[in-house]
Chain A
């Protein structure tokens, strides 16, 4: 399939819909030649599969961090017409609203370094992580329903944050119209969610204490409250078992729906239903519940992170400047209006390993950021750089207001375990001064920096393509992994 790519310019590659049978629309891969050279053939094939689905709106997009996944590849965006198109649980993934949150501080490396081991111990103690982790909160049935309905707002209303946290969260921390009970949300999903609020999870989820080491755009950085030498905290996690169960439930029910509506599936994982159908809307309502659970999850952990800093530094978190920069989703389906060829169209935008990147002036961006655009948080792989970017007008025109989400895997987990020793990865990180806390060593092997693509390459590509611009770069100094 790669041989059929046509280079449009330095960062845009076209896969015309004639590339294979049954493609309804063309696909575009955003990336440099190096991105294309390292992209897997299977990932590109998966992109073309999505282009075969009903109501697909041109183009189906791959970001520079694209890699083979299941259904929609990781690092991709699929948009579908709201009336004629589908909505797909397979295109959103299991970890619904896996996302990233950035919290700044007014501390410098000089302030933090002497207390870093103690800080990491405190954060590791306060934020449950790892396989099978259960939370410190045990929600009763009514509380769980409120979490699913209200999202991060529930957390703030119950003392786990402040109003400004909501303002600086995508969707203000809540998607309205969530279903909270059967038949929309199963009892099994509810049972899984009840004990997991406020947990980090495992795998590629993490909590990092980072240092802003480079500023690319002083004006926007200042608007976001970021400066060189500043310490910040990045949190990466999602909807935990609740979201996983919603995804599982709807994979099964949408398989039946696809047959009912006679939708041909080039890949079984692309199970879907017409967006306007009862099945499609049921999934959308359940997905919103999982989105809200994840927002609430990250908000509760934010509170515990603030408490951890208070304990170690002996000051109130507000005096320490632990304010939210922003919180973004990168596995989600959104109902959005976009202007295409001069006409406004209502679309279901599936972002799987992709981040919203709205440009300046958009009313969905918080007022204080609106003049410059939406913050875009790009988490690097373990031990490597992370970035803050800003959304652009070009993203609105070219990529349904979307950009990349992170580094993307370059190597399978099996290969990573064979290639790297967890203990050696830990030692290598510690030798560079990073403090690492994790539940085991194998996860460090799987998440070794070399198992991922070069995040600098990915970010340079979206910057070069104009769909988001670099604002600051951060490097990790302390890492908590599940």
Chain B
């Protein structure tokens, strides 16, 4: 099955900061009472996927407290880029539970589109089994106000997670 390869950018060196030297990677917004909302940004699809992952796991603990010693492959699928984002974040949470690894480092290795137009992402998440200082638990990614927008080439994701 022929697959089109979508452009993938390497992750930024300032791994855990919500801001890189030039742009905001993600920010938590105080717009929902019982849960937690964030916006993540990126210059391309892989960037915003990585930054959204950092925002999600940053709710549970400080990513800078985790020393990466192992990696887990994580795949995601979606008919649209928005569904791909949902799948990526949800699958990361599932692997966090199953592998019992506290993820802190995320990378997208490739994104492909199949003949039917569905997107498939292959990525990896790095972390440690040693628990950092813990905060609260993200139970899932809601569809409430969930959106992935693209304006002037910039991606913006809006995500409300259930905690």
Given the known A-B contacts A70-B142, A267-B144, are A188 and B94 also in contact in the complex, defined by CB atoms under 8 Å? Answer: yes
Bits for A407-449, please: 1 = Cβ < 8 Å to B, else 0. 0011111110000000000000000000000011011001000
Complex interface: chain B residues within 8 A of A267 (CB): 144
- Cα–Cα, bound, A70→B163 (Å): 12
Complex interface: chain A residues within 8 A of B86 (CB): 252
| Complex: chain A residue closest to B61, CB-CB | A131
Complex interface: chain A residues within 8 A of B35 (CB): 69-70, 413
Given the known A-B contacts A70-B162, A413-B163, are A132 and B100 also in contact in the complex, defined by CB atoms under 8 Å? Answer: yes
Complex interface: chain B residues within 8 A of A202 (CB): 134, 136-137
Taking a contact as CB atoms under 8 Å apart, the answer to whether B135 and A67 are in contact is no
- Cα–Cα, bound, A305→B134 (Å): 24
Complex interface: chain B residues within 8 A of A93 (CB): 162
> Of the candidates A130, A188, A248, A414, which one forms a contact with B28 in the assembled complex, judged by CB atoms under 8 Å apart?
A414
- Closest CB of chain A to B129's CB: distance in Å? 9
Question: CB of A245 within 8 A of chain B?
Answer: yes
Given the known A-B contacts A67-B34, A93-B162, A409-B33, are A439 and B134 also in contact in the complex, defined by CB atoms under 8 Å? Answer: yes
| Interface size in chain B (residues, C-beta < 8 A) | 39
Taking a contact as CB atoms under 8 Å apart, the answer to whether A94 and B131 are in contact is no
Question: CB of B97 within 8 A of chain A?
Answer: yes
- Closest CB of chain A to B62's CB: distance in Å? 10
Question: CB of B23 within 8 A of chain A?
Answer: no
Question: CB of A208 within 8 A of chain B?
Answer: no
- Closest CB of chain B to A223's CB: distance in Å? 34
Bits for A63-104, please: 1 = Cβ < 8 Å to B, else 0. 000011111001000000000000000100111000000000
Which residues of chain B (5-52) have a CB below 8 Å from chain A? 28-36
> Of the candidates A94, A132, A252, A412, which one forms a contact with B134 in the assembled complex, judged by CB atoms under 8 Å apart?
A132
Which residues of chain B (134-155) have a CB below 8 Å from chain A? 134-137, 139-144, 146
- Cα–Cα, bound, A71→B162 (Å): 12
Taking a contact as CB atoms under 8 Å apart, the answer to whether A132 and B136 are in contact is no
Most chain B CB within 10 A, of A70, A201, A409, is at: A70
- Cα–Cα, bound, A122→B96 (Å): 28
Complex interface: chain A residues within 8 A of B137 (CB): 131, 201-203, 482
Which residues of chain A (374-425) have a CB below 8 Å from chain B? 409-415
Taking a contact as CB atoms under 8 Å apart, the answer to whether B162 and A192 are in contact is no
| Interface size in chain A (residues, C-beta < 8 A) | 49
Bits for B87-102, please: 1 = Cβ < 8 Å to A, else 0. 1001101101110101
Taking a contact as CB atoms under 8 Å apart, the answer to whether B33 and A68 are in contact is yes
Taking a contact as CB atoms under 8 Å apart, the answer to whether B136 and A271 are in contact is no
| Complex: chain A residue closest to B79, CB-CB | A256
Taking a contact as CB atoms under 8 Å apart, the answer to whether A71 and B136 are in contact is no
- Cα–Cα, bound, A168→B109 (Å): 52
Taking a contact as CB atoms under 8 Å apart, the answer to whether A70 and B160 are in contact is yes
- Closest CB of chain B to A177's CB: distance in Å? 24
- Closest CB of chain B to A258's CB: distance in Å? 11
- Cα–Cα, bound, A157→B35 (Å): 37
- Cα–Cα, bound, A382→B89 (Å): 30
- Cα–Cα, bound, A439→B87 (Å): 30
Complex interface: chain A residues within 8 A of B31 (CB): 412
- Closest CB of chain A to B102's CB: distance in Å? 6
| Complex: chain A residue closest to B62, CB-CB | A442
Taking a contact as CB atoms under 8 Å apart, the answer to whether B100 and A70 are in contact is no
> Of the candidates B33, B139, B141, B143, which one forms a contact with A40 in the assembled complex, judged by CB atoms under 8 Å apart?
B33
Taking a contact as CB atoms under 8 Å apart, the answer to whether B36 and A413 are in contact is yes
Which residues of chain A (125-164) have a CB below 8 Å from chain B? 130-132, 134
Taking a contact as CB atoms under 8 Å apart, the answer to whether A251 and B143 are in contact is yes
Given the known A-B contacts A70-B162, A439-B134, are A90 and B143 also in contact in the complex, defined by CB atoms under 8 Å? Answer: yes
Taking a contact as CB atoms under 8 Å apart, the answer to whether A244 and B93 are in contact is yes
Complex interface: chain B residues within 8 A of A415 (CB): 30
- Closest CB of chain A to B137's CB: distance in Å? 4
Which residues of chain A (161-219) have a CB below 8 Å from chain B? 188, 191-192, 195-196, 201-203
Given the known A-B contacts A70-B160, A132-B96, are A244 and B140 also in contact in the complex, defined by CB atoms under 8 Å? Answer: yes
- Cα–Cα, bound, A95→B96 (Å): 17
- Closest CB of chain A to B163's CB: distance in Å? 6
Bits for A26-69, please: 1 = Cβ < 8 Å to B, else 0. 00000000000000100100000000000000000000000111
- Cα–Cα, bound, A440→B62 (Å): 12
Complex interface: chain A residues within 8 A of B102 (CB): 132
Question: CB of A269 within 8 A of chain B?
Answer: yes
| Complex: chain B residue closest to A267, CB-CB | B144
- Cα–Cα, bound, A244→B162 (Å): 10
Taking a contact as CB atoms under 8 Å apart, the answer to whether B143 and A203 are in contact is no
5 A-B pairs with C-beta separation under 8 A: A95-B162, A192-B94, A244-B140, A268-B144, A446-B136
- A188-B94, A268-B144, A482-B137 provided; 13 other pairs, C-beta below 8 A? A94-B139, A132-B131, A195-B100, A202-B134, A203-B139, A203-B163, A245-B94, A412-B30, A412-B31, A414-B28, A414-B36, A442-B136, A443-B135
Closest 9 CB pairs of A and B: A70-B144, A202-B137, A94-B140, A241-B97, A269-B144, A94-B139, A70-B142, A131-B134, A442-B135
